[in-house]
Amino acid sequence: MEIFGIPTALLGSQLLVGLINGSFYAILSLGLAIIFGLLNIINFCHGAQYMMGAFVAWIALTRFGVNYWVSLIAAPLIVGVVGVVIERLMLRRLYKLDHLYGLLLTFGLALIFEGIFRDQFGISGESYEVPELLSGGVNLGFMFLPIYRGWVIVASLTVCFGTWYMIERTKLGAYLRAGTENSQMVQALGINVPLLITFTYGYGVALAAFAGVLAAPIFQVNPLMGSNLIIVVFAVVVIGGMGSIMGSIVTGLGLGLIEGLTKVFYPEASSVVVFVIMVIVLLVRPAGLFGKS
Amino acid sequence: MNAPVSFAESKMPLFLGVLFVLGLIAPFAIYPTFLMKILCYGLFACAFNLLLGFAGLLSFGHAAFLGTAGYVCGLMVRDLGVTPELGILAGTVSAGLLGWLFGWLAIKRTGIYFAMITLALAQMVFFLAIQIRATGGEDGLQGVPRGNLFGVVDLSDNIAMYYLVFAIFCLGFFIIYRTIHSPFGQILKAIRENEPRAISLGYDVAKFKLIAFVISAALAGTAGATKTLVFQLASLSDVHWHASGEVVLMTLLGGLGTILGPLVGAATIVALQTQLADSVGSWVTVIMGAIFVLCVLSFRRGIVGELQALIKRSGVN
Amino acid sequence: MLSRKFTTTACAAALAALSCGAQAQISGGSVKIGVLTDLSGTYSDLAGSGAVLATKMAIDDFIANEKPNFKIEMVSADHQNKADIASNKAREWIEREGVDTVTELVTTSTALAVMKVAKEKDRIVIMNGPASTPITNEQCNDVSVHYTYDTYAVANGTAKAVTTGGGKTWFFLTADYAFGQALEKDATAVVVANGGKVLGSVRHPFPGSDFSSFLLKAQASGAQVIGLANAGADTTNAIKQAAEFGITPKQSLAGLLMFITDIHALGLKSTQGMYLTEGFYWDRNDETRAWSKRFFEKQKKMPTMVQAGQYSSIYHYLKAVKAAGTDDTTKVMAMMKKTPINDFFAKNGQIREDGRMVHDMYLMQVKKPADSKYPWDYYTIKATIPAAEAFQPLSQSRCPLIKK
């Protein structure tokens, strides 16, 4: 069967692969959006933190025999703590300055982390085996879907919507959102805003690391895995409207699907399509699709 | 972000004169190719500084201009047999045009949004560079001949090439210097310091920003085209966002908003990279990152900025 | 008049003086060899530090066996698979450090860039790692030697064996740079010449990591064979992911350029039965075993053909320098092309006018896990492809140096 001259099987499978990539875009842009929403800082380090999540999982497995499931919780915690340290020691000093300094600081940190890991591990990448429980595949008719990749979609969507719920529907989330709008007022009401900010940054970083662990069995664990991905994720966040939680999730998934479609009809353009869309969106709706200007 | 200090400024012509003379005799003491690399990146950083240090606009995609001009110049010189000075001119013009396009799209926004837009636009250029067969993709544009300047002077001699690069740098530097010290430059500073006020005074702020952007892009292109001739190769590294980040670092380290800062920053970074590349490998990236972090946290005025502050303090005493 | 004894002594003394005066005219006082390779990236296992070690072994052995009257030095650097880094490094080495020959150069784009610099500066380039045929065709020059293998040689062996063995329809997964494109082109010619058909191809960015969308395209084509026109980590990852998506064993994979280090990384279970063409196998005979064991002691891995070729080419170069009495490029090149190569790596190997070193290649098949008796016992040698057949004949050469 064919749609527009392309066999459905190919279309379906590329869309599914697109959805998988979209899940990564969604989690990563969610983390960035949260950090930007509250701290007004573009966390250039996000890609490096994603990479560190993957490496922590790999090191845990190969050096300490710690399995994937433990890493899924432990890696985000460990990298999240690193994030907290960064926020406390360094980012904190920059809040009073032009926001661009925050961007530059995190950029510098990204270089440091990538350089260290590159020095230790080289760039050809280490392999991380798919965990036993998730290996093998399911025949969907139009394609053979490895179970692990299906898991990635499920896990990311769960975490994304869980985060959205926490921010939009819980008290903690309410404090966070209020803190973004008027931190002095919130502080006057007795909420420890600095602590909230630290927690927010840590959480955003933990999300990146979580994505890293998910990515390890698919993309090979290597020090540069974050740096190319992060640029696309920035575009996703800009399209979604920086600071919009639902915007970043929906845009991430949507762009993954569009990329998948492009790979079927015009593969060479698949890496540029996100940026083209970004330019168009910015011309038509400068605040982004879901942003409030 | 910082206004220059008057004492240092009054001595500036003297500094510049000394540097000029040093520049003339340097290739006989130091490896010319190393010096040429510093001059090319120095011009790139000076052009970038015009935009960030004086107009207050952080472009995170300046590599697009460096690289595009490099490819255009390389293609014209290698495949169309154009003489080197025309190749550099072509590179400059192409970068200027690209800058006009980028600027027009990006000026609508400010601050971080502006930076992100320039970054994304530069990424599009990067991907185009990979896809278009003419650039050679991953292999790069190789075998660019240095040619004969004006059809006469053979540039394959390193010393001859050096003087050309030096002349180009001086010209570019002069243009930036005059731009900064002109009424146009004053308005840019006013816009940087208080944009709403500048608008209320009746200035077409968007137009001024765009002009600054185009000048900055064009001169970055000059640097890129010249660099392609020096190394006889244009590659994807020149359009990669790491190159955009590097120029930010050079300018920040040297001193944002100072005249000589970018050159000092470029010289320091290029020297570091050259010295450390063999012995320490990936640690070059780590050190650059560390310098970035240190500069942002406690060295925001950069080398020249701190020196100027020092002179001012001792001048007061 | 003069006593015979005096005359003889005088002649002997004169001769001695002459031969001392004719001591090798070596520029800069020593022969400096630069090893420019990928020390940390996709190709670091097949070349990398092993190639540097092989060069060092060649230099040490040469000094021990031939006792030359000139000094030999070695420098090495990581080109990170980037043409600009390689070009700048080679230029700096030649202009500032008196390097006489730049070698190894895995990744074709770096090789092509350095060949240009070397031609401009009149220095020799000896290539072992890079694969593409344009090196000895369109881009050939008279200061370059392409030593170990090329895409024609490996395609000829593997693609031919697979196509004649029943794999008639092909789809290519190609690394998007000069090497991948050359490998795809050479393999396509062989497939078609042997009655096969190429249904399509897809290019992946170099280096790649996730090949799922490309592999799915290959699957959709329905081709019997998916040809992997890439190398190193790209090949191993593609093979792993093809298994993950259930593409193999229904469709078979042909790794057009594979090295023993790839088989080692993947394991025999997933690679058994695969055909590959290499220029060297450590376990082929006593000579190769002896040398490889020495290599293994230091590197802890068996040598790939690139590393073995690196040793052989450097030794050959040094012999040529000694024989020519100088490190002058033209004279040494002439000596290298004139002298056949007879060592553990090649028998009656010859460097042709286009710079191509021709020697026997071996078609090998990966053993089943049960048949492997000891570590690194991975291959059965199925056929020896003689030098004349293995490489592109001069008559088909597109090299401007070849007069037709």
Per-residue pLDDT, averaged over A29-45, amounts to 86
Specify which residues A221 forms β-bridges with: A126
Please check whether residue B158 lies inside any domain of the structure.
yes
Chain B residues within an 8 Å CB radius of C120: 156
How many structural domains compose chain A?
1
**CA of C341 vs chain A CAs: smallest distance (Å):** 34
Answer yes or no: is pLDDT of A286 > 80.
Answer: no
Tell me which amino acid residue A216 is: A
Confidence band, pLDDT 50/70/90 cuts, at residue B136: confident
Question: Helix A225-240 crosses helix B111-131 at what angle (to 10 degrees)?
Answer: 120
Which residues on chain A are in Cβ contact (under 8 Å) with B296? 94, 101, 104-105, 108
Exposed, middle or buried: residue A33 (CB in 10 Å: 0-12, 13-18, 19+)?
A: buried
- Mean per-residue pLDDT, C130-144: 91
Poorest-pLDDT segment among C3-17, C118-132, C185-199, C281-295 = C3-17
State residue B22's pLDDT score.
87
Q: Which of A127, A220, A227, A263 is the mutation pick for testing C, counting most C CBs within 10 A?
A: A220
d(CA C37, nearest CA chain A) in Å: 14
Q: Which residues of chain A are within 8 Å of residue C216 when distances are taken between CB atoms?
A: 10, 13-14, 17, 143
pLDDT at C20 over 70: no
Contacts of B138 in chain C (CB under 8 A): 83, 109, 176-178, 206
Instruction: Please write the tens of the pLDDT for every residue from B17-74.
Output: 888 888 888 888 888 889 999 999 999 999 999 999 888 899 999 999 999 999 999 9
In a domain, A290, yes or no: no
Q: Do B114 and B57 form a contact (C-beta atoms < 8 A)?
A: yes
Q: Convert the pLDDT of each residue in C31-72 to its tens digit.
A: 999 999 988 778 888 899 999 999 999 999 999 999 888 899
Cβ count near A284 (within 10 Å): 8
Cα–Cα distance for residue pair C299/C315, rounded to 1 Å: 19
- Domain of residue A180: give its range: 2-284
- How does residue A40 score in pLDDT terms, banded at 50, 70 and 90? confident
Q: pTM higher than 0.90 for the full model?
A: no
> In whole angstroms, what is the distance from residue A248 CA to residue A241 CA?
7
- pLDDT recorded at residue C1: 47
> Which amino acid appears at position B14 of this protein?
L
What percent helix, strand, coil does chain C show, rounded to 5? 45, 20, 35
**What residues of chain B lie within 8 A of the CB of C109, using their CB?**
136, 138-140, 142
Instruction: Please compute the mean of the pLDDT values over residues B265-290 and round it to a whole number.
Output: 82
Which residues in A lie closer than 8 A to residue B283 (C-beta atoms)?
115, 119
- Which position has the token pair 């012995």? B279
- B7 within a domain of the structure (yes/no): no
**Residues B203-231, mean pLDDT to the nearest whole number:** 94
Instruction: Please give the tally of structural domains in chain B.
Output: 1
Judged against a pLDDT cut of 70, whether residue A158 lies above it is answered with yes
Does B77 map to a domain? yes
Residue with tokens 């990852």: C237
Q: What is the ipTM of this complex?
A: 0.84
Interface of chain C against chain B, CB under 8 Å?
39-40, 77-78, 82-85, 87-88, 91-92, 95-96, 108-109, 112-113, 116-117, 120, 176-178, 205-206
Residue of B nearest to C107 (CA): B139
Q: In percent, how much of chain B has pLDDT > 90?
A: 44
pLDDT band at C11 (very low <50, low <70, confident <90, very high): very low
Average of pLDDT values for C9-36?
64
Strands (E), C123-196: 124-127, 144-146, 169-175
Chain B residues near residue A93 by CB distance under 8 angstroms: 297
Is residue A291 one of the residues assigned to a domain?
no
pLDDT score recorded for residue A185: 77
Q: Do B116 and A238 touch (CB under 8 A)?
A: yes
Peptide bond into C249 cis (omega under 30): yes
Q: What is the pLDDT of residues C273-323, one digit of tens each?
A: 888 899 999 999 999 999 999 999 999 999 999 999 999 999 999 999 999
pLDDT at C22: 45
Per-residue confidence at C179, pLDDT binned at 50, 70, 90? Answer: confident
Judge whether B293 is closer than 8 Å to chain A, CB to CB.
yes
- Collect all residues of chain C within an 8 Å Cβ-Cβ radius of residue A20: 212
Query: Which alpha helices (DSSP H) does C22-150 contain, by range?
Result: 48-66, 83-97, 108-121
Q: Which of C213, C240, C245 lies at the smallest CB-CB distance from A263?
A: C213
CATH of the domain at A76: 1.10.3470
Question: Given this model, what pLDDT does residue A246 score?
Answer: 86
| Interatomic CA distance for residues A133 and B117, integer angstroms | 43
Q: For C46, which residue in chain A has the nearest alpha carbon?
A: A124
- Confidence band for A292, pLDDT divided at 50, 70 and 90: low
| Subunits in contact with chain B (3 or more CB pairs closer than 8 Å) | A, C
- Map residue C279 onto helix, strand or coil: coil
**Out of B113, B284, B296, closest to residue A101 by CB:** B296
With beta carbons under 8 A apart, name residues in chain C contacting A218: 210, 212
The answer to whether residue B18 is domain-embedded is no
Contact A98 B105 (CB under 8 A): no
Pick among C171, C203, C206, C210 to test the A interface (most A CBs inside 10 A): C210
CB contact under 8 A, A13 and C220: yes
Mutate to test the interface with C, among A124, A221, A232, A259 (most CBs of C within 10 A): A124
pLDDT at C404: 61
Does residue B19 form part of some domain? Answer: no
Residue of A nearest to C44 (CA): A124
Q: Which of A103-117, B3-17, B88-102, C87-101 has the weakest average pLDDT?
A: B3-17
Lowest mean pLDDT among A216-230, C139-153, C343-357: A216-230
Report the C-alpha gap between A273 and A230 in whole angstroms. 15
Q: Which two tokens stand for residue C73?
A: 């030095």
For range C23-32, the mean pLDDT: 75
| pLDDT value, residue C203 | 87
Higher pLDDT, C35 or A265: C35
Nearest to B120 among A90, A110, A235 (CB): A235
Give residue-wise pLDDT tens across range A191-243. Answer: 788 888 898 899 999 999 999 999 998 887 888 888 878 888 888 888 888 76
- Cα first-last separation, chain B: 25
Residue B179 lies in a domain: yes
Q: Tell me which chain A residues have a C-beta less than 8 angstroms from the C-beta of B131.
A: 268, 272
| pLDDT at C7 exceeding the cut of 80 | no
B to C CB pairs, distance under 8 Å: 60
Q: CB–CB of B281 and C84 under 8 A?
A: no
What was the pLDDT predicted at B7?
59
Per the CB < 8 Å rule, is A219 touching C210? yes
Strands (DSSP E) found in C167-261: 169-175, 197-204, 225-229, 252-255
Would residue B106 count as lying in a domain?
A: yes
Residue B172 has pLDDT above 90, yes or no: yes
3-state SS, residue C104: strand
DSSP letter at C44? T
| pLDDT for position B116 | 82
DSSP C47: S
Per-residue pLDDT tens digits for C77-109: 888 888 888 998 999 999 888 999 999 999 888
pLDDT confidence of B98, banded at 50, 70, 90? Answer: very high
Q: Chain A 218-247, CB below 8 Å of chain C: which residues?
A: 218-220, 222, 225
